[in-house]
Amino acid sequence: MSAESGHRPGDSIRDSSRPKALVLHGPNLNLTGRREPQIYGTTTLAEIDAALQERAAALGWDLAICQSNHEGALVDFLHAHFGNCDGIVINPGALTHYGLSLRDALAAMGVPIVEVHLSNIHARESWRHHSVVAEIARAQIAGLGWHGYLVGLEALDRLKRS
């Protein structure tokens, strides 16, 4: 073992010893706080992301956040962090219900995934009840508004420590 790096040959090399979580927001979530506030609330995505960064720092995690209206961009973001993250919190937006390439990219990551929805998708239109992500997610949080993201991050931290 090198006294300087603390790494043994074969150890995975990480820039930081801190765990890293990814947060992904799917299509239309950039409008959170302004679109259908009676359903999705009045807190903006920038405010949600700031709260997530603050909670991640308090928990000792690094956080990389991505919002995109394009499924392929979300897949590319996941690939960019392949083998270099410890958990994922994702609100896939409408891709929840049919985004199979996103679902496969998530499954490929091999880390715990928490699916988050601002609204309770099970209490809405029937087409929102099915999630193609749920079967590969460790947990689904729906209906807690933006606090659901914080619960998701805390769940990843608990899983990492258990």
Catalytic residues: 40, 117
Which of residues 24, 75, 86, 93 is near ligand DQA by CB under 6 A?
93
Judged by CB under 6 A, the stretch of 15-23, 51-59, 65-73, 113-121 that binds ligand DQA is 113-121
94 makes contact with ligand DQA (CB under 6 A): yes
29-40 burial, b if ≥16 CB within 10 A, otherwise e? bbebbeeeeeeb
How far apart, in whole angstroms, are the C-alpha atoms of residue 12 and residue 41?
41
Contact 106, 133 (CB under 8 A): yes
Name which of 113, 93, 151 is nearest 21 in CA terms.
113
Q: Residue 91, interface with ligand DQA (CB under 6 A)?
A: yes
18 or 124: CB nearest ligand DQA = 124
Q: Which stretch binds ligand DQA (CB under 6 A): 12-20, 41-49, 100-108, 111-119?
A: 111-119
How far is Cα 125 from Cα 66, in angstroms, rounded to an integer? 27
Residue number, 63 or 121, with CB nearest to ligand DQA: 121
Report how far Cα 114 is from the mean position of its chain's Cα atoms: 6
**DSSP β-bridge partners for residue 91:** 25
Question: Hey, is 88 helix, strand or coil?
Answer: strand
Task: Return the range that interacts with ligand DQA (CB under 6 A); candidates 47-55, 60-68, 71-79, 91-99.
Answer: 91-99
Q: Is 140 in the site for ligand DQA (CB under 6 A)?
A: no
Q: Judged by CB under 6 A, does residue 114 bind ligand DQA?
A: no
> What residue ranges bind ligand DQA (CB under 6 A)?
28, 91, 93-94, 96, 117-119, 121, 128
